[in-house]
Chain A
Amino acid sequence: MRLKAGGQIDRDTKLSFRFDGKHYKGHPGDTLASALLANGVRLMGRSFKYHRPRGVLTAGSDEPNALVELRSGGRQEPNTRATVVELFDGLHAAPQNAWPSLRFDALAINDKLSNFLTAGFYYKTFMWPAAFWEKLYEPIIRRAAGLGSITTQPDPDPYDKGFLHCDLLIIGAGPSGLMAALTAGRAGARVILADEDFRMGGRLNAESYAISEMAGSDWAAQIVAELVSLPNVRLMPRTTVFGAFDHGIYGAVERVSDHLPVPQTGKPRQTLWRIYTRRTLLCAGALERPIAFANNDRPGIMTASALRAYVNRWAVSPAETVAVFTNNDDGHRTAADLIAKGVKVAALIDTRPDAPKAAGTELLAGAQVIDTSGRLGLTGVTVKLANGQTRKLACGALGVSGGWNPNVSLTCHQRGRPAWEERIAAFVPAGDLPQGMIVAGAAGGQFSTHATLAGGAEKAAQALTDLGITATKPDLPQAEDAPTRITPFWHVKSDKRAWLDFQNDVTVKDVKLAHQEGFRSVEHLKRYTTLGMATDQGKTSNMGGLAIMAELTGQSIAQTGTTMFRPPYTPVAMGVLAGRSTGQDFRPTRLTPSHHWAKEQGAVFVEVGMWLRAQWFPRKGETTWRESVDREVSATRASVGVCDVTTLGKIDVQGTDAAEFLNRSYCNAFAKLPVGRVRYGLMLREDGIAFDDGTAARLAEDHFVVTTTTANAVPVYRHMEFARQCLWPDMDVQLISTTEAWAQYAIAGPNARKLLQKIVDPAFDISNDAFPFMACAEITVCNGCPARLFRISFSGELAYELAVPTRYGDALIRRIMAEGAEFDVTPYGTEALGVMRIEKGHAAGNELNGQTTALNLGMGRMVSEKKDSIGAVLSRREGLSTADALKLVGFRPKNPQSRIPAGAHLLEKGAKMIVANDLGYVTSACYSPTLESYIAIGFLKNGQARMGETLRAASPLTGEDVEIEIVSAHFVDPEGDRLRA
């Protein structure tokens, strides 16, 4: 119910919203939780395992219970905490993990079966038979023990990523964070103040006490106003710093549009920030912990500080009559605040026999709550009094205070290990904090308002001093400075279930069972019972669990220790981690210089790494890709074809030692390659396995152009830089990648020269005598355009590769097509390229597959013994050069129309398809229009000695089993007459 006055809400504006199919009203400033409570709704969800009715436990991001499905369609968001959802007009939310309805949930039967569903239940029950797991157990468990459901529709909203730098990152805008920001902001430091709430002020917004005779929330607003005026301070409300990473880097999510029905045009839904900091001040405050007692999970039972926050900040009381159960003085403050707001407090139940006096309600000192009633919402509590008698109290809400835990999560994200502090009976930050992190205020165990204000100013000044920035501490405002008085009390002894972890349904009994079964270290306890393993990471539950384990083992809490907190502090949506890298934008797309032209021709494209390459160019009337590819191959071999080969890596190598550098980088000899000539080169890894192949063209004594395969352009460049800088640092050689600088086309076929002669400027003689096979030159084309011409052939035809600066690439392909019209020049794509290289027996990526050596590839003799080159020594290892080593050979099916499956393994006729009979495998296969037969190449044990034999190529995957003849891999023009023509 909403109180008549007060609260930081705009009562003049009404917002409509829907929950569980019913319509309600709230106000700006409300959260979904506060608005529901204002409408008398305490039941908000069902628990994970037992499907127990649940309401809010907290008023913040530590909420384990009140999880809802927010929005619908592509924007549907499961497991959203109602306590942090900012209310907007038209909001709709649905309860989750309840069927058929929130009030009547069929799986609440689990609650009756709780004796069987204890810790370790899954491990013990679903052991056998193994086959049942996937088909039976897992689907049932997933349905029964789920949280919210995700949408299968695409998320319509954009998410962004951003980078920020600052001198001082302040995490949390409560009293210490605000004082710190004021101190650092006035000193001129670059400050970021991030807070997960939409209203800065932290607990000041939820408390009733005054700061310098102002309401705490008003004082906070006044400080925020000054900070807004400082250009060096960036205020980031609705921003959760979720992780502390190496070297002062923090991850944060800003919920830019979550408080709106849909994002404004051009705005992202959320932004992922990477914040680079010089110093960080953690002012994350403290979180109140509950006390475990029988049936302590009914809707209406919440932390005392949450009850106080709802009354003070949102002017909402969950019930007309409430009670408070505490073991410390802070619980008394809750009772006092409630009474001041006109809420009836049935009693203040304090576990301490020496509890201080209380006004306005009955104090039950030395008493304990031993049970509660109310199936869908609290109706009353049973109290065991100090004298042993029991008493029933009627109340609709109960505030529970077991003390406060400093919010140490972020201090643990590197190697911090919190230490126990007896004074406040809680863990405080200790050990190696993340680099540059200082902790201030309640997060450091300083709980009074005065101490947090003073701590914020002092720690900020200290951080700035470290950075050489002088800061003057602002005057400290007047504030309460009450000492922390607490007598630790963790759970009320009972035979009934008392909840510790509300989200994962872990009770005191489960901890006892874990202890009994030997899972006693905190890490074992956590994994066996799942305590603290839910999406809230046990913010409200870990402490109670390990205190009870300490009690059971007879150790102190300090000896028992605590589990680690890890990023993210609160759940982070996958969408914001992906940012804009989704769908087509998952990674950049690289387009070849002829892309637009190829698109005009109706080319079909294929992704090759990041590149899009033309795969084939269908013509009218062609109905299958094979028709197009066969035509492209035949036309090229009959006259002339052209293919964009820009994607192959190009590395410019210059310097007086360039030749010697390549000599050591390639396994074959390069030192004596004459100027104006190209040579094929094979690069090995240092372990002797083939790494990459390509060509090196010597344009001048001290200038080479090296090509790599498309896939290895980056790794080869990296490898060559490693050799240059780390292995031979004094060689005079420079490297630069020029892959994108040159557009390069292969022009292949008997008419290639005739076509080129129409393009190459007349000053350059490219006749066979003047420019033979493997020649290269820097020339000009099209009346003065600088170009490079290489007479190299991947297709086996008379062929050239012509390169021009990339900006002329589009013009050049159009000119080639125009000048080549008289030869019926045919553009071909990667498929025809592949067919022609298989016909010619050239190795490519399928053969250089990271397992093959030069010997396997039939190039064993290329590895020079006269020089040292990378990989040469280990390539000569015994195991790599056995007599039956795999050799590259060709395969022809007995029936030319029988497809040879790529990846098939080679077997003797009649041999069983088992590994012991494996003779090798097929790497590349295609239909050869030139031979009018299917063909393939691959590796066969001792292959060169088995020419003419018949074997089988069998694929257990496709079921194909084809008789094949072993032939030379050079199907077309084995003598090389065509390419020398």
Chain B
Amino acid sequence: MIINHPLLGPCDAQEFTYKGDARLIDRPDGMAEGSGPAFYDYAYLRDNPAGEHRELWFHEQGDRSWLVVTRNTVTHDIISVELARDVARSMGRSR
């Protein structure tokens, strides 16, 4: 596969390491009261869609950016590639 890196352009997927569902960005607050169930969901529950899937890829053999790649798991079409940091910010994550 070829991943169109937002900063570096098209790169072979072999340069990347795969992590999984981009929901992992949405980490619960560990200091919140009763956050146990939220962490259980966060650590263990994943959707397994046949179709579009937002997932995290790490450009390990490249610039070490974490990317959010929206990929069709059936066709391997890549619909969009974003810097995970931008996605995290857009989801309200900061410090």
Report yes or no: B43 in contact with A729, Cβ–Cβ below 8 A. no
Closest residue of chain B to A248, judged by CB? B2
A874 & B40 in contact (Cβ 8 Å cutoff):
yes
Q: Which residue of the partner chain, among B35, B42, B78, B94, contacts A686 with CB atoms under 8 Å? A: B42
Q: How far is the CB of A740 from chain B (nearest CB, A)?
A: 15
Within 8 Å of chain B (Cβ to Cβ): is A972? no
Per-position 1/0 for B24-64, Cβ under 8 A of A: 11011111000110011011100000000000101010001
List CB contacts (< 8 Å) of A266-303 with chain B: 276
The answer to the question of A20 belonging to the interface, with a C-beta cut-off of 8 Å to chain B, is no
Instruction: Encode contact with B along A463-489: 1 for CB under 8 Å, 0 otherwise.
Output: 000000000000000000000000000
Q: How far is the CB of A167 from chain B (nearest CB, A)?
A: 14
Q: Report the stretch among A9-17, A193-201, A720-728, A778-786 that lies at the interface.
A: A720-728
Residues of chain A from 334 to 362 with CB closer than 8 A to chain B in the complex: none
CB of B65 within 8 A of CB of A725, answer yes
| Cβ-defined contact, A873 with B39, below 8 A | yes
B1 and chain A: residue at smallest CB distance: A246
Instruction: Say yes or no: is A868 at the interface (Cβ < 8 Å to chain B).
Output: yes
Q: A946 near B: Cβ within 8 Å?
A: no
B60 touches A718 (CB 8 A): yes
With beta carbons under 8 angstroms apart, the residue of A415, A725, A867, A874 that contacts B85 is A725
What are the residues of chain B within 8 A of A727 when measuring CB–CB?
25, 27, 88, 93
* Complex Cα gap A729–B84 (Å): 9
User: A874 to chain B: which residues have CB within 8 Å?
Assistant: 36, 39-40, 43
Contact of A868 with B31 in the complex, beta carbons under 8 Å: yes
| Alpha-carbon distance A868/B89, docked complex (angstroms) | 20
A935 — which chain B residues lie within 8 A by C-beta? none
A721 touches B75 (CB 8 A): no
Q: Is A731 an interface residue (CB 8 A)?
A: yes
Instruction: List A contacts of B93 (CB < 8 A).
Output: 726-730
**Inter-subunit contact B24/A726 (CB<8 Å):** yes
A 646-664 to B, binary, CB cutoff 8 A, 1 in contact else 0 = 0000000000010000000
* Residues of chain B contacted by A657 (CB below 8 angstroms): 95
A730: chain B residues within 8 A (beta carbon): 89, 93-95
CB distance from B79 to the nearest CB of A (A): 13
Restricting to B62-95, which residues have a CB under 8 Å from any CB of A? 64-66, 75-76, 78, 83-85, 87-89, 93-95
Q: B17 contacts which of A248, A718, A729, A868 (Cβ < 8 Å)? A: A718
Interface members, chain A 843-887 (any B CB < 8 Å):
867-869, 872-874, 876-877
Render A680-707 as a binary contact track against B, CB cut-off 8 A, 1 for contact: 0000001100000000000000000000
Q: How large is the interface on A (under 10, 10 to 19, 20 to 34, 35 or more residues)?
A: 20 to 34
Residue contact B84 to A726, C-beta cutoff 8 Å:
yes
Give the docked Cα–Cα distance between A759 and B92 (Å). Answer: 52
Residues of B within 8 A of A729 (CB): 85, 88-89, 93-94
Question: How would residues 405 to 443 of chain A score, 1 for a CB under 8 Å from any chain B CB and 0 otherwise?
Answer: 000000000110000000000000000100000000000
Q: How far is the CA of A731 from the CA of B93 in the complex (A)?
A: 10
Q: Which residues of B contact A718 (CB under 8 A)?
A: 17, 58, 60
Q: Which residue of A lies closest to B76 (CB)?
A: A246
**Interface residue range, chain B:** 35 or more
Confirm or deny: A87 has a beta carbon within 8 angstroms of a beta carbon on chain B.
no
A728 lies within 8 A of B95 (CB)? yes
Main secondary structure of the interface of B (DSSP, over half): mixed
- Does A249 belong to the interface (CB within 8 Å)? yes
Q: Tell me the complex Cα distance, A867–B29, Å.
A: 10
Measured between beta carbons, the chain B residues less than 8 angstroms from A867 are 31
Residue A527, interface by CB 8 Å: no
Shortest CB distance B2–A (Å): 4
Tell me how far the C-beta of B8 lies from the nearest C-beta in chain A, rounded to whole angstroms.
Answer: 15
The smallest beta-carbon distance between A847 and chain B, in angstroms, is 22
Instruction: Indicate if the CB atoms of B2 and A249 lie closer than 8 Å.
Output: yes
Given the known A-B contacts A246-B1, A247-B1, A247-B2, are A725 and B36 also in contact in the complex, defined by CB atoms under 8 Å? Answer: no
| Separation of A733 and B70 alpha carbons in the complex (Å) | 27
Are B94 and A721 interface neighbours, CB within 8 A?
no
Residues on A with beta carbons closer than 8 Å to the beta carbon of B31: 867-868
Minimum distance in angstroms from A369 CB to a CB of chain B: 46
Q: A246-B1, A718-B60, A731-B95 are in contact. Are A726 and B29 (CB under 8 A)?
A: no
Contacts A730-B89, A873-B30 given; indicate if A725 touches B66 (C-beta within 8 A): yes
B-side contacts of A731, CB under 8 Å: 95
Interfacial chain B residues near A869, Cβ < 8 Å: 30
Residue on A nearest B42 in the bound complex, by CB: A686
Alpha-carbon gap, A731 to B85, bound state (A): 11
Please determine whether B85 and A726 come into contact, CB atoms closer than 8 angstroms.
Answer: yes
Once the chains bind, are A686 and B95 in contact (CB under 8 Å)? no
CB neighbours (8 Å) of A868 from chain B are: 29-31
**Quick check: B58 and A722 within 8 Å, CB to CB?**
yes
User: In the complex, what residues of A have CB within 8 A of residue B85's CB?
Assistant: 725-726, 729
Q: Which residue of B lies closest to A876 (CB)?
A: B36
- Name A877's closest neighbour in chain B (CB-CB): B36
User: Do B66 and A726 have beta carbons less than 8 Å apart?
Assistant: yes
Smallest CB separation, B53 vs chain A (Å): 15
Chain A contacts for B84, CB-based, 8 A: 725-726
In chain A, what residue has the closest Cβ to B28? A873
Contacts of A276 in B (CB 8 A): 2, 12
CB distance from B94 to the nearest CB of A (A): 4
Bound Cα distance from A718 to B43, whole angstroms? 17
Do B76 and A247 touch (CB < 8 A)? Answer: yes
Q: A725-B84, A730-B89 are in contact. List 6 more A-B contacts (CB 8 A).
A: A246-B2, A248-B2, A718-B17, A727-B93, A872-B30, A873-B36
Question: Can you name 29 A-B pairs with beta carbons within 8 Å?
Answer: A246-B2, A246-B13, A246-B76, A247-B76, A247-B78, A249-B2, A276-B2, A414-B75, A415-B75, A657-B95, A686-B27, A686-B39, A718-B60, A721-B64, A722-B66, A725-B66, A725-B85, A725-B88, A726-B84, A726-B85, A726-B88, A726-B93, A728-B93, A729-B94, A730-B95, A731-B95, A874-B36, A874-B39, A877-B36
Nearest first, the 10 closest Cβ-Cβ pairs linking A and B are A868-B30, A247-B2, A730-B94, A729-B88, A246-B1, A729-B85, A725-B66, A873-B39, A725-B85, A246-B76
